[in-house]
Structure formats: C-alpha cells, structure tokens
Amino acid sequence: MKRRKFIQNASLSTLGIAVGTSVFASGMKTSISEEKNLKNETSGFPMVIATWNVNDSTAEAWRVLKEGGTSIDAIEKGCMIEEANAEGQSVGLGGLPDRDGNVTLDACIMNKEGDYGAVVYLQNIMHPISVARKVMEDTPHVILAGKGAEQFAYSEGFKKVDLLTEKSKKAWEAWKKTSQYKPIINIENHDTIGMLAIDENGDISGGCTTSGLAYKMAGRVGDSPIIGSGLFIDNEIGGATATGLGEEVLKTVGSFLIVELMRQGKTPQQACEEAIGRIIKKTPNFKDFQVGYIAVNKKGETGYYAIHDGFWVTKYQNDKNENFASDFYDKK
Ligand code: SD4
C-alpha cells in the first residue's frame, strides 16, 4: 500500500492517536484537577512542561532543576522515567510495535546552545533519549539511524533489552487478527513525551521520545526525532514540541514555526494556535487525526493547543505538578 494511502486510511484511533477521550498515562501519582484550566496564567522558572499526563516524569525533571541541575539533565532524567514505564504504550519499554511486531524508537534532544542529537528507528535500547544525548555530545553527527544507532548505543555501554512486553505483544496480535492494514484497536493510553524545561539560570532545553505510531509501516520515522518538527529550542526565544500524527507535524515544521512565531512577538498560546491552524488549513481530513503542541517562552510562560479534545499536558512550576486539559480547535 502506498504511504499516502496508508496514512489516509489509518484513522487516528487505529494509529494510537486518541481523539475525544481523556487520556491517562498509567503510573500517574497525582490526580488530574477536575477543573479544566484553560487560562494557563503562570510563568517563572525553574519549570518543566510535557505532553500528556506524565507526572512522574515532570516530578523527576523538577527534582533535578530544584537541586540546581541544568535543563538538559532535567530533560534527560524526566524522559527516562516514561521510557522505562512498561505500562505506557507509546514510548520506550512496552511501546506498541510496528505492523511486523518490532518496537522501533525515535528520540531527540536539544540544549541551550542549540546543539541537537537524535536517534531514529532504534531497536532494543530502553533509553533512546540518552543515546540521542550521546549522539549530540560525543559524535560529530546529529542523527544516527537503525543498526548504526544501536551499535553506537552498545559501544557507549547501553544494554540490549527486549522492548516488546506481553501486553503490547497481545495488542499487536489482536490487531493482526482483525485487519492487516486497517487496525481497529483503540488505544487510550498516551504518553509520547515532548518535554521543555527551564533551569534556575533561565536556560532552556527540550527532548522528545516515542515509539511512534502503533502498527506503522516498518522503517517509518515520525516527527519526534526531527529537529524543527517534533522539537525546537532557541534559548533566546523559547521552545516547542509536538505529539500526534507526525506526518502532519513534519509537513508544517511545527515546532520551528512556533518558536519563530514567538520570536515575532506571539505568546506561546497564540503560536501554538497558529501552528495548529496551518495544519487545519492545509489538511481537509483533520477530523481524522490529532496533533497537539506545547510551547514555552523565555519568561516561563506556556501555551498548548490541539486539533481535538483529549490532549493533556503536565506542568511543574511554582512548586505545583499539575495536569491541564488543552483547548482545541474542533469544537464540532
Ligand atoms: C509520531 N508524533 O511518531 C509521534 C506519535 C505521538 O503520541 O506523538 N504519539 O508520529
């Protein structure tokens, strides 16, 4: 089946993109506030914000920041929590596999200097965010893919891990039974992490880590590890990161767009809304997929916006680790 056809046929729910549902990452310790806080008025740093309900991850990032750690350390440590969570099915261990049953991971990281490192189509490694950081810091390159990335990880001391859990294997087997190319399984746990942090010095870093779309074609790489699409940081301005159907984020270079809009004077919220607007304008079938963005500026002001209801963010700021329901475009 041709790529475009596959993407069009694959509905949002079948690809592991939740729409119209509240999503709750398993292992979450803090309860979600009943009130939908759409005003999002807080600012200041240190702070950390992440896509979806990932309170354990933001708590870990906050711990690093409060101890005077750098934003890049906070990002790596925070993302690692969700990568190691076997219950979460869209990142790291326990991630849903591609249609051939292989768990393949994409991740990237960016620091305050604007350095970037990424791994794409990485297998058998629990912490792609850490390998991405090694690519950034210890190699002359910015992206390593597939076997090369895996070999590099082993050479850096990472251990081989079977990432396909029983739970995800069962889900994949159920998907295979019902349909080869039009899966009907509905995935409601969502925890692909895009994370942005500002440390006590006011320096911004970001990271993004995912197992990508469930039951994707073998070899498919999404937006998450691609600079400017799944993540972009400019320490003078702010940062942005994305979740959802990566093909649409890639086509609009969403995270770079948001940072550039903030550079032109937009608030993080206005910038996220405009980036979603670009997708809506260009893509008549936007009802079939979800994209969500989060952004932060130099003051620690944040924004978040999605195409559909059901996108949540977690923010640790001013000593509070809170979940917020994102406002969205498609009000029906
Ligand atoms: C991708 N953007 O691979 C990722 C998927 C995602 O929550 O964010 N899922 O397209």
pLDDT, tens digit, for every residue of 228-259?
999 999 999 999 999 999 999 999 999 999 99
pLDDT for position 288: 87
Domain assignment of residue 5, yes or no: no
Ligand 1 atom, smallest distance to 212 CA: 3
Ligand 1 centre to CA of 308 (Å) is 15
Best mutation site among 57, 192, 241, 308 for ligand 1 pocket (most ligand atoms within 8 Å of CB): 192
Ordered DSSP codes for 226-276 = SBTTTEEEETTTEEEEEEE-HHHHHHHTHHHHHHHHHHTT--HHHHHHHHH
Best mutation site among 245, 249, 304 for ligand 1 pocket (most ligand atoms within 8 Å of CB): 245
Ligand 1 atom, smallest distance to 52 CA: 7
Cα–Cα dist 106/286, whole Å:
24
Cα–Cα dist 150/131, whole Å:
9
Neighbours of 331 (CB within 10 A): 7
Instruction: Characterize the bridge pairing of strands 302-306 and 291-297.
Output: antiparallel
pLDDT for position 26: 33
Q: Is 93 annotated as a binding residue?
A: no
167: domain range? 32-176+186-328
Q: Whose C-alpha lies nearest to ligand 1, atom 8?
A: 243
pLDDT for position 183: 36
Ligand 1 atom, smallest distance to 230 CA: 2
CA 129 to each of CA 39, 68, 190: distance values in angstroms, whole numbers, following the listed order: 31, 21, 18
Per the CB < 8 A criterion, the answer to whether 302 and 294 are in contact is: yes
Cα–Cα dist 177/198, whole Å:
46
Domain assignment of residue 310, yes or no: yes
Q: Can you give the pTM of this predicted structure?
A: 0.89
Query: Which residue in this structure is represented by tokens 């768990």?
Result: 103
Best mutation site among 90, 105, 215 for ligand 1 pocket (most ligand atoms within 8 Å of CB): 90
Ligand 1 atom, smallest distance to 190 CA: 7
- State how far Cα 313 lies from the chain centre: 11
Ligand 1 atom, smallest distance to 16 CA: 9
Ligand 1 centre to CA of 224 (Å) is 7
Per the CB < 8 A criterion, the answer to whether 17 and 210 are in contact is: no
Q: Is 309 annotated as a binding residue?
A: no
Neighbours of 79 (CB within 10 A): 32
Q: Whose C-alpha lies nearest to ligand 1, atom 3?
A: 212
Instruction: Identify the band that residue 9 occupies on the pLDDT scale cut at 50, 70 and 90.
Output: very low
Minimum mean pLDDT range among 128-132, 198-202, 211-215, 222-226: 211-215
Domain assignment of residue 41, yes or no: yes
Domain assignment of residue 63, yes or no: yes
Total of domains in the chain? 1
Domain assignment of residue 206, yes or no: yes
pLDDT for position 35: 45
Is the preceding omega at residue 46 within 30 degrees of 0, hence cis? yes
Domain assignment of residue 227, yes or no: yes
Cα–Cα dist 293/315, whole Å:
14
Structure tokens, 21? 């549902």
pLDDT, tens digit, for every residue of 115-174?
999 999 999 999 999 999 999 999 999 999 999 999 999 999 999 999 899 999 998 899
Ligand 1 centre to CA of 201 (Å) is 31
Cα–Cα dist 206/243, whole Å:
14
Q: Is 238 annotated as a binding residue?
A: no
Cα–Cα dist 173/166, whole Å:
10
Pocket of ligand 1 (CB under 6 A): 90, 190, 192, 210, 212-213, 222-224, 243-246
Query: Which residue in this structure is represented by tokens 């087997």?
Result: 173
- pLDDT: which is higher, 96 or 264: 264
Angle at 99 between CA 186 and CA 105, to 5 degrees: 90
Q: Which amino acid is at 328?
A: F
CATH number of the domain residue 198 falls in: 3.60.20.30
Instruction: Identify the band that residue 58 occupies on the pLDDT scale cut at 50, 70 and 90.
Output: very high
Catalytic residue ranges:
192
Work out the mean pLDDT of the chain and round it to a whole number.
87
Domain assignment of residue 13, yes or no: no
Is the pLDDT at 280 greater than 80, yes or no? yes
Is the pLDDT at 64 greater than 90, yes or no? yes
Ligand 1 centre to CA of 67 (Å) is 31
Ligand 1 centre to CA of 88 (Å) is 13
Instruction: Identify the band that residue 42 occupies on the pLDDT scale cut at 50, 70 and 90.
Output: confident
Domain assignment of residue 126, yes or no: yes
